[in-house]
Structure formats: structure tokens, C-alpha cells
Amino acid sequence: MPNNPLSEKYNFTYTFNTDGCQPSRSSKLSIWPIFACINELPSKLQSEHMIMTGLWVSKKEPDMMIFLQPFVDQANKLSDEGVEWKLGDQLINSKFIPLCAVTDSVARCKILNMKQYNGTYGCTFCEHQTERVDNNRKFPISTYVPKLRTDESIKSCMVKAGESKYGKDIIGVWGPSPLMNLKYFDLVDGMSPDYMHAILLGVIKQHTEILLSSFGEEYYVGNPNQLEVINTQLLDFKHPSCITRSPRPLSERDMWKATEWRSWLLFYSLICLREILPQKYLDHLALLVEAVRILLSGKIEINDLQIAETLIIKYVALYQEYFGKKAMTYNIHLLLHMARSVLNLGPLKCHNTFIFESENHFLLKLQKSPNHISVQIARRYLFQKSLLSFKNNINLSEDFHKFCEKNLTGRLKNSFKVDNCVLIGKGKNHVLSSQEREILNRSDRCKCYDRFIYKGTRYTSKMYRFCKKKNDYIVLFKNGKVGIIQNICYFDSISGEEKIYVFYIEVVLLKKYFYSSGNVTVHHIDECLISDKLNCCEVEMISEPCMI
């Protein structure tokens, strides 16, 4: 589009976040950083090159009119004037556009100067009036469809509330916010509902708690015998390394992190509950599983988005029917805005608070004494973020470079790279078996490895001796086949072109989804059989890890 700054090749967008964190549970201090990361960077580089644009340290929560104004001023300067930098001999001016703000629901209300979500008109995305149920504000399904908020409508409410003599809110808006002056930023479509807090620490946690604690109800599955069956299945799962946390029993669910709730929702829940939870309630849970799977996908077609939205509407309607109005919390209501957020900002995995929460934890570790905390954190944070730049741009001593290699790059010992693959370990001389020679159609010697990293993901052979809790040997190939890695063979350039081959036992997909009913089919869990057929392919054929 003409006059659109994003039509320029070297202009970029960023996501910003702010949230309060405490140095310890007993501390009265509240630390509020403002972080920003560039959206065009690969996800693994976003955290590495994140910047802190503001910091508030006090025993009181920040006054957002004071806290956010310098950020807005600097952001507008970046989007208007940009930054000059060199690409080779070419001088380039890049402008940075605020595309998205991702926060939890509490912080989102604060930065927009709106009522909290437990008040009337407490939703920042629509004008749902809420309803008082058992002396609490809930978000039951309305007899009418609440009007969606827009950037124009919310700014109009801000102006009217600011001009009001009575100090009353206008449809949930208390008054102006500095963000209304943030150029190019949409106060509604630019706000992400954040699936980490809303879905993982909200909806699925609440749904699971209802199933496990509602004694006497038809859907109750929390008696000791049922819990033992569920926990046995849950703890039997061996997951790939890309799922960072091993399953813990449901008795410890109060301590589960967001990533554990994500694994429970997407991978474990339907399998563990299929023989225990009555069919209609399992169908209900499956609606959420499939909808979230779609919204997290890397590539989402408009038709897929419409399917996900339909599944969510069914899930929310049945949630009220099965569990009553008292269960209709704001997180359940936020589900109805997830599809719109994905349409505006992309898949849920691209705009959430995971990387910002990690940065908060890193920030808290920078405090070493109780004095001048803001200065301590700011100095140490800026120094840490500058190390990589120093390493790459300043001619310093060999000791400094060794320090950077050790502390910044995480370089593996006993490893070497072949194209996009890193082989780990020393390797063992290997003579191909007759079956391997027949499949590969070559008889020369090679080296055998038990681990490698391909495109940032770790894989191992089944025989790797440290594969006790994790399972990195089951993979999906680009041709749609699934296999269990038996051997990893490296042929060096002496015997021809450098090649890495993976020998695997085929896993036969039965073309039958694990969960399919008249209401919903969950597409990422298949029924399968492990064959005894050995096959082989080049490492470049690997798509992603799997679980059995």
C-alpha cells in the first residue's frame, strides 16, 4: 500500500511487553520492565536481541501516564525518523513500527487505562457487560453478540472519559492512555490476548481442576483409583527434548508451569482421559485441543481459522451448559477473541509472553544488593546485551574471545558440522550390516554416531544410553513417514561426498485418528503400529520430532 511504512524493504516491526515481577515472594518491591523484540528475527534470535526500553522499580505499581510516556515518545521517533546503519557500503535508514503489545490481562487493562477484567465492561476487546454470579463478575454467553471494540471506539471513550467531570468510566474506559498517541499502533487489533496466560494458565488449568474436583458430578474423574490410572499413563510418556519439562503427576498440578499445561492440553489429556471421562465431556475437551492446535500452527489458511473459531464457539457454549455460569471466567471469554487475534497478528506461537517471562527471570537475577536496584539492573542488563556486539565489532584479546565462546555461544564439545547438521560425540568406526548395505547400496566404512542436532533440534538413536526420560529418536519425515532412529552413519569426503544417513524402523500410520467423533476430529494424534522394516534416508529428509 502507498505511504505504508512496511512497504519499505528495510523497515521492521516489533512487539512490546510490560508486566510486574517481584524479586522474591516476601518482597514488597514491584519491578516493571518494558521489553521490545523485532518480529522479523527468527524466534531463537528474538530473545538474544531483545531490548529493555524502560524500567520502573518501586513499592507501588507504576503510574502508566508517567511510565509509558517516554516509551511512546521514543517509539514515535523511531517510526518517524528511523535509525541509520550500514549494509556493506550502503547507508540504510530503517524505521521501526509497533505492531503488537502482548501482556497478561491485568497489565493490558492498566496500560489501556481501563477497568480490570472483573468489572463491568472489563473486556478490552469487546463491550460485554458481564453478569454478577455468586457475588463475582462472570462472562456468560449473552443473548446478544457484544459489540467489538475498535481503535476508533476505544480512543473516543478515552477522550469522553477524560472530559467527564464525574470521574466515571465510559464503557469500561477510565480515561486517556499514552498508547493512544503511539503512531501506527492499533489499541485493539494490536493487543494480543496472550494464550500463555489465557489458555494454558487459564482455560485448560480451570477445565482440568473442574474435572478433578467436582465430586459427585457426572464428569468427576478425581477419585484415587481414576487418578492412579491417569498418572500412570501420564508418567509413561517419553517426550522429545523440544518439550522441556517431563510430565509430573496431576497431584502436583498446582506447581505446573505453562509449558506443562501446554503439553497436557495438546498431547496427554485426551490419551489419559479417553477410557475414564464420559464421551460427551471428552468431546468437549477435544474441541479445545483441536482449536488450539490450529491456532498454534505455523501456517494457517483462512478456512482453518474459521474452523478453529467454530470449534471455540462450540467449546464455550458447552462450557456454560456443562459447568454453569459460575465457571464462565474472563479467560473462557478470551477464547472468543483468539481467532481474531491470529487473523491480525499471526499464529499464537508468534505473539505470547513466553520469551518476555524468561527475560523477567533473567532480569531478577541481576539484582545483587538491596540498594539502587534500578541502576544495578539497568547497568548489568545493558552490559550483558552488549557482549555479543563487543565480540563481533571490537578487536580484543584472545582471552576475551574465549570467555565469550564459553559463556555466550554454548558451543558443544566433540562436535562438528556437516551442512545444517551437527554431529555430537567422537563417533565409532562402523561396518555396515548386510541389511544396511542392501538398503544403502554401498559397502564402504563409515562412522556411527548416537546424537546429532539438525536445524536446532536434537535427535538420537534408540540405542543412546542416556535416553531414559526423553525420547529424541522418533521422527516425522518430509514424505509423511514416521520412523524410530536405529543408527546414524556419517560418510566422510574420502569415500565420496560427505553424507549423513539415518537408518530407521518404520512406524506404520493406520490412517485412523486417535480421537474422532461426530463433533470433532483431532488431527495431530494418529493411531500407529511399529513394524520391523528397516529403511534409510538422508538427514535432510527429517521434518520434526514425534512422540509415541
pLDDT tens-digit map of 263-314: 999 999 999 999 999 999 999 999 999 999 999 998 999 999 999 999 999 9
Task: Single out the residue of 336, 220, 214, 202 nearest to residue 261, CA to CA.
Answer: 202
List, for residues 406-456, the tens digit of each pLDDT value. Answer: 666 655 677 888 888 999 988 899 999 999 999 988 877 889 999 999 998
Q: Please, what is the angle between helix 279-296 and helix 302-323, to 10°?
A: 150
110 within domain boundaries = yes
Looking at 163, 188, 213, which one is the last position of a domain? 188
Task: Single out the residue of 100, 124, 113, 266 nearest to residue 199, CA to CA.
Answer: 266
199 within domain boundaries = yes
pLDDT score, position 426: 87
> What φ, ψ does residue 441 adopt, rounded to 5°?
60, 40
Q: With bands split at pLDDT 50, 70 and 90, how would you rate the model's confidence at 146?
A: very high
Asked whether residue 146 falls in the same domain as residue 282, the answer is: no
Cα distance between residue 386 and residue 404, in whole Å = 11
478 within domain boundaries = yes
Least confident stretch, 218-232, 320-334, 387-401, 508-522: 387-401
* Rg (alpha carbons) of the chain, rounded to whole number: 26
Asked whether residue 79 falls in the same domain as residue 213, the answer is: no
Q: With bands split at pLDDT 50, 70 and 90, how would you rate the model's confidence at 401?
A: low
Asked whether residue 242 falls in the same domain as residue 316, the answer is: yes
133 within domain boundaries = yes
pLDDT score, position 205: 98
Q: Does 412 or 68 have the greater pLDDT score?
A: 68
Asked whether residue 236 falls in the same domain as residue 307, the answer is: yes
For residues 267 and 205, the answer to whether their CB atoms sit within 8 Å is: no
Looking at 127, 161, 188, which one is the last position of a domain? 188
Cα angle: 76, vertex 81, 86; to 5 degrees:
130
356 within domain boundaries = no
Asked whether residue 457 falls in the same domain as residue 509, the answer is: yes
Asked whether residue 205 falls in the same domain as residue 323, the answer is: yes
In this prediction the pTM is 0.92
Q: Report how many domains make up the chain.
A: 4
Locate 203 and state its grid cell: 482455560
Asked whether residue 24 falls in the same domain as residue 158, the answer is: yes
For residues 219 and 271, the answer to whether their CB atoms sit within 8 Å is: no
531 within domain boundaries = yes
For residues 79 and 71, the answer to whether their CB atoms sit within 8 Å is: no
For residues 422 and 456, the answer to whether their CB atoms sit within 8 Å is: no
Q: Write out the H or E segment, with its range, that includes residue 453.
A: strand 451-454
31 within domain boundaries = yes
Q: Write out the H or E segment, with its range, that includes residue 16.
A: strand 12-18
What residue numbers bound the domain in which 391 lies? 366-411
pLDDT score, position 322: 98
Asked whether residue 19 falls in the same domain as residue 40, the answer is: yes
Cα distance between residue 131 and residue 122, in whole Å = 11
Asked whether residue 207 falls in the same domain as residue 316, the answer is: yes
End-to-end alpha-carbon separation of the chain, Å? 47
Q: Is 142 left (phi over 0), alpha (psi -120 to 50) or beta?
A: beta
> What is the average pLDDT across 65-88?
95
In this structure, what CATH number is given to the domain that contains residue 455?
2.30.30
Asked whether residue 398 falls in the same domain as residue 454, the answer is: no
Asked whether residue 464 falls in the same domain as residue 374, the answer is: no
Asked whether residue 345 falls in the same domain as residue 436, the answer is: no
361 within domain boundaries = no
Cα distance between residue 361 and residue 377, in whole Å = 12
Cα distance between residue 385 and residue 363, in whole Å = 12
